[in-house]
Structure 1
């Protein structure tokens, strides 16, 4: 057992728990009840802190700064690894380049090692293999030439430091006899004044003839001696001139010497093509990394796209230099088993396994031994991606084109491929973004990980995942200060038998009310997309009803995001813009019905704020009102403090000078993930002591920012403008959210609902179409009704809503369902069925229909 005693982190009320090791444990409870505080801020934080204590002194220099969770005692905790939803969203580098499925899953790193260890360079123009040459390799080539051929061993001389006459004099002193100038052969003993006067050092070269031989008989030592001399004198260059016509299989560059036709072969100790002289970089892992200066395409900067200025404005086109691969020519010239790393990344993951086996079979025992660990890692990750149902993806797919379920599973692949044992894995909603038909895939992998003597702690709301757990911890009973207590802790069987658990209530409640067969509100207005073909969409025509709740369903990868976020939204946004131009050629043939709405708003999972200075209070402009209230207090007036002094973003305000108002200090551990800890100057309060002495209704500004929305609503009684904004946060199910929580720590669903609250705040009278992707993510089933109430309010006001959703309670509430599939990737992108929940449930092959039947019939 992990023994936890007296935990007081955030809203946890000095809780005691015994958590069994080597089991799958679900932590559940209503939103804001303290699940994250227990799982991540207590157990993961302490597991990570203790692991660092085992490291070297150079790493431990930071340990005195690492905060211990506020608890009386935590014992028997193993080393911990975590996967949070928000941290897996950091997918852009400092230069704004986007990661890919291969990078997110960890496979790309191993493929770079494989290509640098076993890659063969091929000149893309001449289609011949390139490798650094030596006297021995050139001798081997000479021995492949037909019998009775005459050839000359030469080397080129550069004229950078000396004049041509000086070079001739030096060659003569070395005992050399012949040179080739401007395609004519001369004796060094001849008068070279005239040929040298016509010699252009910029366009012509001096070829020094070392030896003239024939393939009739070979004197290996003589040839090697000449070749070694040539390589030494020319900084690694040798030129072979073959004097007779060659057979078809051996070709060289035609080279005229006087009236004689010869064929030229150039060899280099560097990576250069012997035919066209093109140079290539030595393969090493960073050469195959478009985030690295070594591998990046310099034309597009690694984005794969270039910006084109045209009469219609700026548009992005595929980079002509790298063809969208984001890598430079040297990286793309390296092949393993016939493919370069970009071509491999364009294959579906399920086909890469066969490529790898074919490559492995061609290796000798000596070659296999050093590559064995590398090949094992790649195989295991490929196998895990296939097991998680992602075999249809390509490794080159950029992260923004992946659905939330695909993102969650690629991140899981990287985490679960570590093959650690006796470790505590803390996972934030592994069910996120998964259709109910996909859940068993992730659960199977989690069970395998647990069988390796690991402890899995999952923060979950999904019934299937809670039912799969062996042990359940439920926190509550409500959110914020009304939560933080252990409602239930014990085996799943005991939870199902419990009468006091809200989670037990929804697990045991049989929903047998008839599914909706008629929309709540009839409509005659539709938006129609004709022949949508973005990504895997199979030229489908889709009709979306207006003034209704529409839900797009289907298993992960079936084309939902491609349809809504990447096709419908950009087309509607362009159609409704001032220019009125619509890029229909890209992914769709026609769009009709846009004139029936005034605006379209996409509420996606992207961060609403990229830094810890952004908080819900600033995002909804609540903070301006709060600062004004504090500035009007008698103490603030006495000290002549303005609202600006209560800003933690202003340099001239009263923010803490050490953390600059963030309340946190980031520690870069280099070899591990960065650690964030409370500032030791202000103890996480963001402000200087003078500002914290000013109080409104017995609370200072730092304490007000710690209030949840539900707590702040009665606190600001008598402030109607402020309470109106707080009410909108409560309406979208964010009543548990602290006013000062940094926005980058919010889940994707919380980000969406925060944006929705901001739009409710503007109270637009326009006819708006809201597009949302999984607004229920992170919500307990008992909290979903608040979001449905909010949607009902919008629909009643004449707006329209289209959602991408997997949650069956929300799908059940839809007026119109568009079910895509039947599978993911190339097997998806088609319409399986459309209609009301009852009509979808009646369809025999719809995965969504089957899930609705299983839960509600």
Structure 2
């Protein structure tokens, strides 16, 4: 049975649209839907309602699959083709590009090399091409240009010599170890050569002169021509030089009669007791003064992921371990000074800057630098590099338009805030300048302060005007308000979701009586802003002299047994304060070691003795294998296996809890798929195919285990239950229900117990970790640090997290979160607002206090957002 469109939805028959019919991917319940082409569509709904299933597992998967099918078989083998979504009919879908949540913050690459802003934005690739095209090698020792020589360039040098100066055109000839001078001389005579310089003497080549020339380790200089600058015969000179380069594999030597008017800084050579000045020329890149060889610029020379370019000391990481410290710390590599590149790469310059010096500049500075470079190029060169410069300028302009022009290109992605990383990933995706393409984006508002939303929205609208179709999974009110078309799934999560709740415009959404999102957006302000914290006279932890990254020698006090929210626009210093200062300093002080360590970026800390432990809950993955599931992470699975082992059928077959584990080789897991539920098939010239295991049909277990049932469900069916469904199912099992209750409290009631943890979002991983701590019975006074715990949550689900925080605070714990969500900010007892802007313009404390006090600040961006929220309500 198919869903009918809600009565308040708008018809899209007059607008060309992607037509979806009978979509049954995951929890989607056979829905029918039209997505207008060349418009911005927002998918909203409570967490777990099916938004990701529709956006990524249906729209993106089918758009990518159809595009890949147009490629040749040889090309398809290198591409990861997504499976065909379960749907009756999909039509008019363009090729698709996707940007998933937290795509910007990647892990370290090969050999521990961390990606940078330049790499993630795609700019570094074009810079490497630019330095290959325009780069000039400058000898770092002599500071002289190193150029490959030609007969024409040597001729130009000869024209600079004073008149009436004698010179000789030669080439070096080195004897092999087992070669006798007689053999060489005989060959030279046959070639018509008449003179050779050896042992500081000129020898005329005759058969009698062979015995006069003694073997020597130094190369002989074969004289091809003797000329004077009085009458410069250009063609004769060019012919002799060309022959010299040819016979010596790219080497030639000019001996010029010594004269006071000639630069005497070059090498001199005495021949027959007369002084000559020696000038060496090479078709290779060899410094004319120190004779050091350099590599010809090519793109791989500037790629520090490659051994060809990487510094040999740090292997391209830019840092080395600090052996003088007992902590696991690093310092800049003394060889490359953190540039990651070897001397050959750093010797290549454009306008007196090598590629590392260029990447040290901010995006704004680079825009000015490229403008100056374009003006200084001559016409032939400009035509050659115009496409490169255009691509570089477009990407820099897009980054500036997204509000991160203060970032330097060599900044490690690991040091960026969530909002900065998200916008770099967004810029990399959007800078392709494609048309008639489907862009599927997962929460582009993630990590953004509310005042920054307009920048991203402007860029997305511009992309639509290029005849592209945008589908956003979003909860933010600003993005929903801007959308041309809104689709809401629900009404609840998991099996209670997957239905089309609403489809239409924003005005229709807030007027709808069936839309939970519309009800939230249209609801009046619930209460006055909090003006009094939960604890009027709390204890404090105070740090002073904080200088980490862009923090400007600030002092900050954090209240205990309260919800403290650190706010500020992306790049204002929130992560530097919490993740890179507060957490490592407290961790060191609370660790039982003989000596506490000092931190150069924090002068002092007081009040740490008032807590027992500090825990930082980040958004990294909690499991890396397909067999890792939420039930195993919280030890729920141990209890579930024990329940099944206690059934009469299990006891009759002598089955223990171990047999119900799909992680154990000796358990009852399917031998074909080893407990993963799927197998990967190598199709050789096609992409590898993941398919449901034909032995267990995705159940993970052997048939014998699946015959054991508890309350009419086998263990595979139990793992398919969501947390909300499992809670009443395990009535009478208090230990199990307690752990399930913690998952419900952190807003994860919609996830299946057996969902693979690598498929969880960053926000879900973070809340899963929080639930794991909630299940412990520790009575320690704990300080919890979290980064954007509301990531990926619908406003209705945020209330679960706030209630969970209430539980922790009531138990005597303390919570500090970095957050942009206004619901969480307004629930805070104490707010620390950083800024006023980002990068160098940030790093200061703008204001602190309760939400009511913050809202009264005249210049705070957070105050502006709070007042806007109240006015909209």
TM-score (norm: length of structure 2): 0.91
Given that 2:480 and 2:486 are in contact with CA atoms closer than 8 Å, whether structure 1 keeps it comes out as yes
Conserved 8 A contact 2:677-2:696: yes
Q: 8 Å contact 1:4–1:18 — kept in the other structure?
A: yes
**What is the CA distance between 1:32 and its match in structure 2?**
1.0
CA distance in 1, matches of 2:339, 2:152: 36
Cα shift readout 1:787-835 (whole Å, capped 9, x = no counterpart): 1122122222222211110001111111111111111111111111111
Q: How does 1:264-283 map to 2 (within 5 A)?
A: 264-283=278-297
Aligned-partner SS, 1:817:
strand
1:18 is aligned to 2:25? no
Counterpart CA distance in 1 for 2:601 and 2:274 is 59
In the other structure, the counterpart of 2:4 is none
The alignment status of 1:387 with 2:387, answered yes or no, reads no
Contact 2:680 2:690 in 1 (8 A): yes
Structure 1 match to 2:155: 139
Separation in structure 2 between the aligned mates of residue 136 and residue 840 of structure 1, nearest angstrom:
72
Q: Displacement, 1:524?
A: 4.5
Secondary structure of the structure 1 residue equivalent to 2:300? helix
Counterparts of 2:659 and 2:81 in 1: how far apart (Å)? 29
Higher mean alpha-carbon deviation, 67-76 vs 773-782, is at 67-76
- Give me the whole-angstrom Cα distance separating, in 2, the residues matched to 1:781 and 1:739: 23
- Larger mean CA deviation between 13-22 and 400-409 belongs to 13-22
Cα offset for 1:377? 1.5
The Cα offsets for residues 542-583 of structure 1, whole Å up to 9 and x where unpaired, read as 122222211111111111111111122122222222336555
2:126 to 110, 127, 139: 110
How does 1:754-765 map onto structure 2 within 5 Å? Answer: 754-765=768-779
Q: Residues 388 and 700 of structure 1: is their aligned pair in 2 closer, same or farther, counting only changes over 3 Å?
A: same
Cα distance between partner residues in 1 of 2:726 and 2:664: 24
Q: In the alignment, does 2:704 pair up with 1:700?
A: no
1:806 maps to 2:820: yes
Could you say which residue in structure 1 is the equivalent of 2:93?
A: 77
The Cα shift of 1:462 comes to 0.8
1:68 to 68, 84, 95: 84
Q: Is the 1:424–1:454 contact (alpha carbons within 8 Å) kept by the matching residues of 2?
A: yes
**What secondary structure, in the 3-state scheme, does the structure 2 residue paired with 1:309 have?**
coil
Choose 702-711 or 750-759, whichever is displaced more: 702-711
Alignment RMSD:
3.0
Q: 2:555 aligns with which of 534, 541, 546?
A: 541
Q: Of 334, 339, 347, which aligns to 1:333?
A: 347
Give the 3 Å change call, closer, same or farther, for CA 646–268 of structure 1 in structure 2. Answer: farther
**1:303 equivalenced with 2:323 (yes/no):** no
Distance 1:125 1:135 in 2: 26
Q: 1:116 to 1:549 in 2, by over 3 A?
A: same
Structure 1: 5+ residue stretches without partners? none
Q: Structure 1 pair 243/375, CA: closer, same or farther in 2 (3 Å)?
A: same
- More moved, 431-440 vs 548-557: 548-557
C-alpha distance 836-258 of structure 1, shift in aligned 2 (>3 A)? farther
Helix, strand or coil at the partner of 2:141: coil
CA distance in 2, matches of 1:684, 1:373: 50
Alignment-derived partner of residue 23 in structure 2: 7
Give the aligned partner of residue 478 of structure 1.
Answer: 492
Q: 2: distance between equivalents of 1:25 and 1:142? A: 70
Work out whether 1:555 is the aligned partner of 2:592. no
CA–CA distance in structure 2, aligned partners of residues 39 and 782 of structure 1? 21
Displacement of 1:675: 7.9
For these two proteins, the number of residue pairs brought into alignment is 853
How many Å apart are 1:607 and its aligned residue? 2.1
**Unaligned stretches of 5+ residues in structure 2:** 1-16
Q: What displacement does 1:371 show?
A: 2.4
Alignment of 1:197-212 (within 5 A): 199=216, 201=217, 204-212=218-226
Rate the CA distance shift 1:62–1:153 in 2: closer, same or farther, 3 A.
closer
Q: Tell whether the 8 Å contact from 1:290 to 1:297 is kept in structure 2 after alignment.
A: yes
**Are 1:97 and 2:113 an aligned pair?**
yes
3-state SS of 1:528 partner: strand
Which of these residues, 312, 318, 321, is aligned with residue 326 of structure 2? 312
**Any conservation in 1 of the 2:106–2:413 contact (CA below 8 Å)?**
no
CA contact (8 A) 1:168 1:188 kept: no
Deviation at 1:3, TM superposition (A): 2.3
Out of 127, 130, 135, the residue aligned to residue 143 of structure 2 is 127
- Counterpart of 1:607 (choices 575, 600, 621) is 621
TM-aligned CA distance change 1:612 to 1:90, over 3 Å: farther
Structure 2 distance, partners of 1:669, 1:446, is 38
Distance 2:670 2:282 in 1: 62
Task: Please report the TM-score for the alignment, with normalisation by the length of structure 1.
Answer: 0.92
TM-superposed CA distance for 1:468, in Å, is 1.0
Q: Which residue of 1 aligns with 2:171?
A: 155
Aligned to 2:454, the other structure's residue is in SS state helix
Residues 41/499 of structure 1: CA separation in 2 closer, same or farther (3 Å cut): same
Q: Secondary structure at the match of 2:361?
A: coil
